[in-house]
């Protein structure tokens, strides 16, 4: 896209949809236009989920605090041990107080989310036999 405004709108829309097929397009656009990184990281996380973590980690070491903040927000959307580990590692080295505050909040939120997922797994993945099989019904 030639217009930065249209590109930004398209990236945000793809991220809001969260469609896995959009991940490749967002990643390609990010590679071609690194100036869109701040707006691309969250849509990248929403569409790529665990696949996106290795790309998002890279932005935690950016010289720009705003870009680190964007990476933190994106990683916080990916409920995985890998994203939690990346945030914890950054917490050990982050010097900027605002960014540290965001990291602490993201680590806390992600830990809560992961603990909740362990305590209350997705029941759709379990197979429950029909009630009648266990209670002598027909």
Mean pLDDT of the chain: 84
With tokens 């945000």, the residue in question is: 12
Summarize the confidence of residues 80-104 as an average pLDDT: 97
The pTM (predicted TM-score) of the whole model is: 0.77
87, 72 Cβ separation under 8 angstroms: yes
> Please, what are the domains in the chain?
4-116 (1.25.10.10)
Banded model confidence at residue 122, pLDDT cuts 50, 70, 90: low
Predicted confidence (pLDDT) at residue 74 exceeds the cutoff of 90 = yes
Residue 123 pLDDT greater than 80, yes or no: no
Q: pLDDT digit string (tens) for 21-55?
A: 889 989 998 998 898 899 999 999 999 999 999 99
61-70: average pLDDT? 97
Q: How far is CA 6 from CA 18, 39, 57, 67, in A?
A: 18, 12, 27, 21
């Amino acid at each position: 896209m030639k217009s930065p405004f249209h590109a930004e709108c398209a990236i945000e829309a793809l991220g809001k949809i969260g469609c896995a097929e959009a991940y490749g397009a967002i990643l390609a656009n990010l590679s071609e236009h690194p100036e869109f990184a701040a707006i691309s990281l969250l849509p990248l996380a929403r569409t790529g989920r665990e696949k996106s973590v290795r790309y998002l980690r890279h932005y935690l070491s950016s010289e720009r605090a705003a870009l680190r903040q964007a990476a933190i927000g994106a990683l916080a959307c990916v409920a995985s041990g890998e994203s939690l580990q990346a945030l914890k590692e950054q917490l050990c080295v982050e010097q900027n107080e605002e960014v540290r505050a965001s990291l602490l909040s993201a680590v806390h939120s992600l830990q809560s989310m992961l603990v909740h997922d362990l305590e209350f797994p997705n029941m759709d993945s379990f197979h429950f036999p029909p009630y009648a099989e266990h209670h002598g019904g027909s």
